[in-house]
Amino acid sequence: MSQPDIKNDIGAVSPAEPLLPVEKKLIGWSLGIGITLLIALIAINHFVPIKL
């Protein structure tokens, strides 16, 4: 990849690549699972506090 290619590549917006349903699913499931797990871990953290 030459330097001008990189510049054009970074500068270009990609209307030809809209978000596909599978990408939306990936984002949605990641966030959903992530937030759920975080809430669970926060609960565990509450019941199993750090021991000194």
Partner 1 sequence: MSDIAIKASEPIALKARLNEDWLAVVIGLLVYAAALVSISGTDLLGWAVMTSVYTDLAKALAPVAKAYAWLGGGGALLATYAALLVLLSAGVAALGAGVRKFAVAFTVVFAIAYASWIAGSYAYVAAVTPAEQQKFGIGWSLKLTNEGGFIVALLSGLVIANVFPRFAAWLKEAIRPELYIKVAIVILGATVAVTAAGRLNLASSLLLRGAAAIVEAYLIYWAVVYYVARKWFGFSREWSVPLASGISICGVAAAIATGGAIRARPAVPVLVSSLVVVFAVVEVLILPFLAQTFLWQEPLVAGAWIGLAIKTDGAAVAGGGITESLVMAKAAAEGIRYQPGWIIATTTTVKIFIDIFIGVWAFILGYIWTNHIDRGPDRAKPIEIWQRFPKFILGFILVFAVSLWLAVGSTPEIAKALPTAAGEANVFRVIFFILTFFSIGVLSDFRKLWQQGFGKLAAVYFVSLFGFVIWVGLLISWLFFSGFKPPLAS
Instruction: Kindly list the residues in this chain that would bind partner 1 in the complex (CB under 8 A).
Output: 1-3, 6-7, 9-15, 17, 19-20, 22-23, 26-28, 30-31, 33-35, 37-38, 41-42, 44-45, 48-52
Task: List b or e across 3-17, with b for residues whose CB sees 16 or more CB atoms inside 10 angstroms.
Answer: eeeeeeeeeeeeeee
Q: Taking a C-beta distance cutoff of 8 angstroms, is the pair 40, 32 a contact?
A: no
Q: Taking a C-beta distance cutoff of 8 angstroms, is the pair 4, 12 a contact?
A: no
Closest approach, Cβ 23 to partner 1, in A, equals 7
Closest approach, Cβ 24 to partner 1, in A, equals 9
Closest approach, Cβ 38 to partner 1, in A, equals 5
